[in-house]
Amino acid sequence: MKVLLLNPPGEQVYIRDYFCSKTTKSNYLFHPIDLVVLSGTLAAHHDVQVLDCIAERLSIAAARERIDAFAPDVIVSLVGSVSWTQDKAFLSDQAARGRRILALGDVLHERSEERLKEEPWLEAALHVFTNQDVVHYLAGDLVGVEEMTLRDSTARIWRIRGRRTQRGGYRVPRPRHELFPAHGYHFSFAKHERFATVLTDYGCPYQCTFCVISTLGFQTRPVEDVLEELDELRARGIREVFFLDQTFGVQKARALELCEALAQRGDLSWTTFTRPDRADDELLAAMKRAGCHTLIMGVETADDELLAKYKKVYTRDEVVAGFARAKRHGLRTVGTFIIGLPEETEETLQRSLELAIELDLDFMSLNMAVPRFGTPFRARAIEVGLVDPRDLVMDQGGAEAFLPTRTFDRDAMLAMKKRMVRRFYLRPGYLWRRLTSAKSLYELKAQAREGLALLLRNT
């Protein structure tokens, strides 16, 4: 078949990725990892093209023209709660043109049967992108499908659930990075303009109640498969990588093996996520030798009671120690915070800002608390009346809908978030450090571009 992997057009720069969707908080846009992984899986069996309308900044009319030129039999599309109204309109039009529509995204992660009943243009929803479900489904082999919601030939809608638990290991054919646009992606922390987004594991073993990734199980790829992918990228001249693993180093021995292999290659520069309580000296030293230059770690809040309530399983003191270790190993640090939890007050926000400054972060990332589909946090927010279960639009970037708190309405919460961004980033000493730390003209321009975009969104 002719299969199109689609990131549909939108009115804003939407990030629809890994069962999350949001507006970009500055100017960044990385490759949608769902489609990256599926590109290898589908290309092993079908004629595949990729159309990322967000990266290419395509209008609806231009996107339609490009799709018509390829004339796919099947479209496998990302969708997002942040753009759901636009996504429905665009994809229903493609279905009316005779194309089969399969989709995946956060808005389909929960109550997917209901979504299919409401949207007759949608043939099926994928709930895992690291297995062979889409291949089995397109071949008519429903016995091989592990986790999908589908509309069968009799118009019956049903969900196939977890025939195999998402644990252990997984393998996928080499992702086809060459099918993605060469330009249009920007990454705030990249040292080079051209970069790739790579996944070495799937899901997360931790149970943070506000995070959808904790609902996906946890699986790892063989290190040799990851290296095959990286070597293909190196052969194409790509030296910058964003490892989108949610916690690099969960399996420490495996992480050390990968780092040793990267250190032997000696020509990759990369960024990844981990947790401050996982980042011990041995792991950090190995990551630095392997080319890691920037480490993104969750701070979330300075309040130990909130950390415990939302099952972060670490304390403020462990956060401080973890960031200090990363600094000692010469790594740039990015601290991510979740703000606007129901218990949030002006005092808790002030303590979080003070902690961000105390940690001497290179970058601070503020995420608005949103009730992600399928999470315990969403169930609790519905229970206490902070969210209408029928409301499908949410945006942790803050440009669209997000939760009020018990003390702030949405407008007040957004104003507080903007004030925190300005107070952190507009410190004279911080601006001087950013200016003098750039190692190349590209990095200086990229920092200026991202910083200006961030501040414009927070004025």
Residue 43: both structure tokens together: 């290309």
* Of the candidate ranges 128-137, 188-197, 328-337, the one whose mean pLDDT is the lowest: 188-197
Q: Which CA distances in Å does 163 have to 114, 143, 159, 167?
A: 21, 10, 11, 12
CA distance 242 to 33: 11
pLDDT level of residue 396 (50, 70, 90 thresholds): low
What pLDDT, in 10s, does the model give residues 107-151? Answer: 999 899 999 999 999 999 999 999 999 999 999 999 999 999 999
pLDDT level of residue 341 (50, 70, 90 thresholds): confident
SS (H, E, C) 350-379: HHHHHHHHHCCCCEEEEEECCCCCCCHHHH
Percent of the chain with pLDDT over 70: 97
Q: Would you list the domain boundaries of the chain?
A: 2-166, 187-456
**E-strand stretches of 73-203:** 74-78, 100-104, 124-126, 148-151, 157-160, 167-169, 195-198, 201-203
Task: Output 394 or 425, whichever has higher pLDDT.
Answer: 425
Find the largest Cα–Cα distance for the chain.
Answer: 66
Identify the pLDDT of residue 397.
65
- Superfamily of the domain at 2-166: Response regulator (3.40.50.2300)
Examine the pLDDT at 165 and tell me if it is beyond 60. no
* Of the candidate ranges 325-334, 391-400, 407-416, 432-441, the one whose mean pLDDT is the lowest: 391-400
Has this prediction a pTM greater than 0.85? yes
Identify the pLDDT of residue 368.
85
Examine the pLDDT at 300 and tell me if it is beyond 90. yes
Identify the pLDDT of residue 339.
86
Task: Output 28 or 78, whichever has higher pLDDT.
Answer: 78
Identify the pLDDT of residue 293.
97
CA distance 215 to 375: 7
Average pLDDT over residues 325-339: 96
CA distance 340 to 345: 8
CA distance 279 to 271: 14
**E-strand stretches of 221-268:** 240-243
Identify the CA nearest to 195 among candidates 246, 136, 242, 130: 242
**E-strand stretches of 221-315:** 240-243, 269-274, 292-300
Q: How far is residue 249 CA from its own chain's centroid?
A: 18
Percent of the chain with pLDDT over 90: 71
Task: Output 415 or 327, whichever has higher pLDDT.
Answer: 327
pLDDT level of residue 65 (50, 70, 90 thresholds): very high
Count CB-CB contacts under 10 A for residue 104.
Answer: 27
Average pLDDT over residues 328-343: 92
Task: Say if CB 124 and CB 137 are below 8 A apart.
Answer: yes
Identify the pLDDT of residue 402.
65
Beta-bridge partner residues of 125: 103, 149
Q: How far is residue 315 CA from its own chain's centroid?
A: 25
Q: Which residue, chain included where needed, has tokens 């790579």?
A: 198
Identify the pLDDT of residue 314.
94
Examine the pLDDT at 401 and tell me if it is beyond 60. no
Q: Which residue, chain included where needed, has tokens 């060459």?
A: 178
Average pLDDT over residues 42-60: 98
Task: For Cα atoms 58, 456, 346, give the angle at the middle one, nearest 5 degrees.
Answer: 125
Task: Output 209 or 25, whichever has higher pLDDT.
Answer: 209
| Winning range, highest mean pLDDT, from 124-133, 361-370, 400-409 | 124-133
Q: Which CA distances in Å does 387 have to 369, 377, 402, 403, 404?
A: 12, 11, 9, 7, 9
Count CB-CB contacts under 10 A for residue 94.
Answer: 22
Examine the pLDDT at 294 and tell me if it is beyond 80. yes
Q: Candidates 3.40.640.10, 3.20.20.70, 3.60.20.10, 3.50.50.60; correct CATH number of 187-456? A: 3.20.20.70
Examine the pLDDT at 163 and tell me if it is beyond 70. no
pLDDT level of residue 296 (50, 70, 90 thresholds): very high
Average pLDDT over residues 260-284: 97
Count CB-CB contacts under 10 A for residue 363.
Answer: 22
Which are the contacts of 458, defined by CB distance < 8 A and separation ≥ 6?
417, 418, 421, 422
CA distance 414 to 400: 10
Average pLDDT over residues 159-177: 83
Examine the pLDDT at 400 and tell me if it is beyond 70. no
The rounded mean pLDDT for the chain is: 92
In the chain, what is the straight-line distance between the N-terminal and C-terminal CA atoms, in Å?
49
Average pLDDT over residues 247-261: 96
Examine the pLDDT at 192 and tell me if it is beyond 70. yes
Task: Go through the chain and tell me how many residues it has.
Answer: 459
Amino acid letter, residue 25: K
The runs of H, that is alpha helices, within 217-295 are 223-235, 252-265, 281-289
Beta-bridge partner residues of 100: 74
Beta-bridge partner residues of 76: 5, 102
Average pLDDT over residues 397-418: 75
